[in-house]
Chains A and B, each alone.
Chain A
């Protein structure tokens, strides 16, 4: 209603200001979201994500590197919110009939900021860098596991030879973890490249002050904006600074005090506060592609080996209300295995995840768990226990509260839920050792192929690092085949059908309890204009932003 009133008032104000033009020539472009972009200035972005240990996104491959790296190193493709692939450093990509070769056509006249030309040789060097064990890549390494070699055919055409078809290859190349870096710079070795990776991006790393900030300066020759960008050419901002502020309260206070212009990982209550006050702080929410935030049930344990018990657990809690109240209406309850921004995800609103404690009780009775005197069910002397390890680094307080609600509500039907808060390393150890009955584990990937990674039985075997991506511990040949097939199919309709079948198997098995979309939650000062989330995993994108001062 407020915005309606304002928009009707605008013409009036405009007319008045015309009359008064003789008195004042100043115009107020604060509300109109724009005016002419202003060149120059410094924008400070405070992130609550961890500080990366290496700025080269090929090394390892996690969210902090994506957040810091996307301004410097650009990807071959980008992806729209609808999941469509759009050009970035590559103009197009085409898979052969048999899926055994991919041909990428690259943009011309693009240079890395050290003067090295961006061409097919550079793409080859990047793939080889990612595949080299010495690089210690994990995300990029896995994404390229079906690539045998890259053959430069002419300066701007790169042909990929595959060991087996991979329909998700372009989607993989839409991630910063597989972004293009200067071959000359990569040859300097890991240490130097971690300090100052060289890409084609709108900004250049000028200083990394550890445990504090990264300062970037504008790339004056920038000419390779993604198809999703609002403008071509160099960024408006002269300097971009990323500050690391792990504490949510001080991060928000810093934004309020004007010490920083943009913050992420904002708490739901502050977002709702900013919206309600319609004040100088605006919000920007985006969905991170990949898996949705979900509770995965470990079928290998004692409790959830029985499908009836899993179903009972799904019906025991009112997730809808919990998400609504704890997240202050900033995110909706999800009934999908993958984020709403990830193509080929399907919502399952047919009752599988509805709260109904009566059904939950019946199912537990049927499964032979009898209600004990203390309100906890038992069977053959065993109590109905559920262990949930929670990483305090990954789960924001609202998410931890949601899990506590699940704990309280499922107790009403006889589950004894234990929540173990732990640091990230201990959490990975517990996950790796299967020391859980249910767990929430984020997994970002801008492709529905994320389902193959987290649900295929190959993911049960721990990776050499000790962590397994598949936490449900189900070996289902039909599911495996569907996920493999979907990854090798180019026909989108057929692919959608295969993924729909795979998701139905997961839902029917009651293996996973979807909660809500994994989000990027940004708050920013109204002085910041042109800010958007680059859909490549929903990361703040500053090349189109400027500051009104």
Chain B
């Protein structure tokens, strides 16, 4: 069943108010836009947004999440409804599974390997095969999260170097940097990663799972929702690296879409809008799902992935991380 409601991307500065049972979005130009509250699943604010409390309480009553991205595209925070769909049975099992070091690291290893394989798939090159092979041999020996993350870091460094060979010089990463990203390529990746994180968090919010109890990232990692960070891993290549490659090939982005300074870079307002359009289009791309026997969008894939974890918690079904099958 497709999800009720859709995502709205606020790419311009605006003011959000309540008007009866609608959200009224007032933009600096033109007349306000009214959106029925039942049509909204979540809102993503890319720019300055004024919200008042009556609008927020209506968002909360209707289970709408509001994500806020900061200037560099980091996830600055979100406003989520007070009532969640949490289930004690699921959370109890989730805690049990994550508290068991063996099961926890097993799932962590699976996630890292899946992310690496997906990255190999996204870059579509055999230059990564040796690195992937050594990751496969080294991972089973990793006994704790730090070791797993270390292996992941090694692979990622190789992969980004390979990605650089497929990019024009101005968009190359030259080593991954963040907070703040130092060049255009890094700004792009950071921005997309923040968006994927926000999408995963929304998906998790519509399941009974607790987003803060994760498998891979340590509990204090950037004090964020670690399960959302975990689950975002296998999806990052699908959106971030793949889209970067594509925009470079199609010349969809120009150097003027970035505001580059010495040692820091961010997207310009126009660049942000372009990326919002790109991602929105990408999220609504559909593929045929073999067991559901219908088309599912990339957005829904994230939700289905979260459901696999619910199934793991409720029924002990083994968890197989997402891998693109098309």
Same complex for A and B? Answer no
